[in-house]
Amino acid sequence: MAKLLTNVGMFVGFLNPKYDGKLLLVRRTSTDSIIPAISFKGNWELPGGAEEEADTVGYNYSVNVAFAKAKDKVGIDVPVDDQPFLGPVYGTSFKGPQGYDLGQVVPFVTKLEPTVGETMWVSPAELDALAAKFVSESDAKKQGLPEADGLLSGKCKRMYLMAMSCLAYHSPNPFYRMDACLLLRTCRFGK
């Protein structure tokens, strides 16, 4: 049987009605990256992480890995098998060092709070502003900046698309859903 030979980033898009339907981001602490000699430490991202090698990557596998990695990053423990419905998994491909890789996100509305990591809840406008500020740790050092900043990968890139999709289709806030849909449209059509 063939093995999966691509990197798959699996994330959870935690949306909290207590914060008006905002989305949870966590500051990246790892210097590791799928791109050699590039660090994204200090950037903001969805809770989760990469799975680099697996025999199969079915729905259950992806969801379980996403929630396990998110628990490690932010401490939110969701017993996946106890959930009656988890909803869709959104994916996006991106150019990695050895070809195209995949990023997946599972939107999840919860009132649970993060217990570890540096986190923040963001609206679509705040997410968009963070994406516009993106600079990697490596580039920050070259530019003499104190640290990396912004949403990992920048505007209209994989993390942005996954995060904005969670807000657009699952935020409990109808205004956030509308704003996120409009911002996603600018990525697709430039309008």
Per-residue pLDDT reduced to its tens digit, 5-14: 567 789 999 9
| Residues 13 and 34 sit within 8 Å (Cβ to Cβ) | no
In the chain, % of residues over pLDDT 70? 89
- The predicted pLDDT at position 126 comes to 98
pLDDT value of residue 108: 95
Under-50 pLDDT residues of the chain: none
**What are the chain's domains?**
8-189 (3.90.79.10)
pTM, 2 dp: 0.90
pLDDT of residue 191: 57
Largest Cα–Cα distance in the chain?
Answer: 49
Could you give phi then psi for residue 18, rounded to 5 degrees?
A: -60, -30
pLDDT at 3: 55
pLDDT at residue 34 in the model: 67
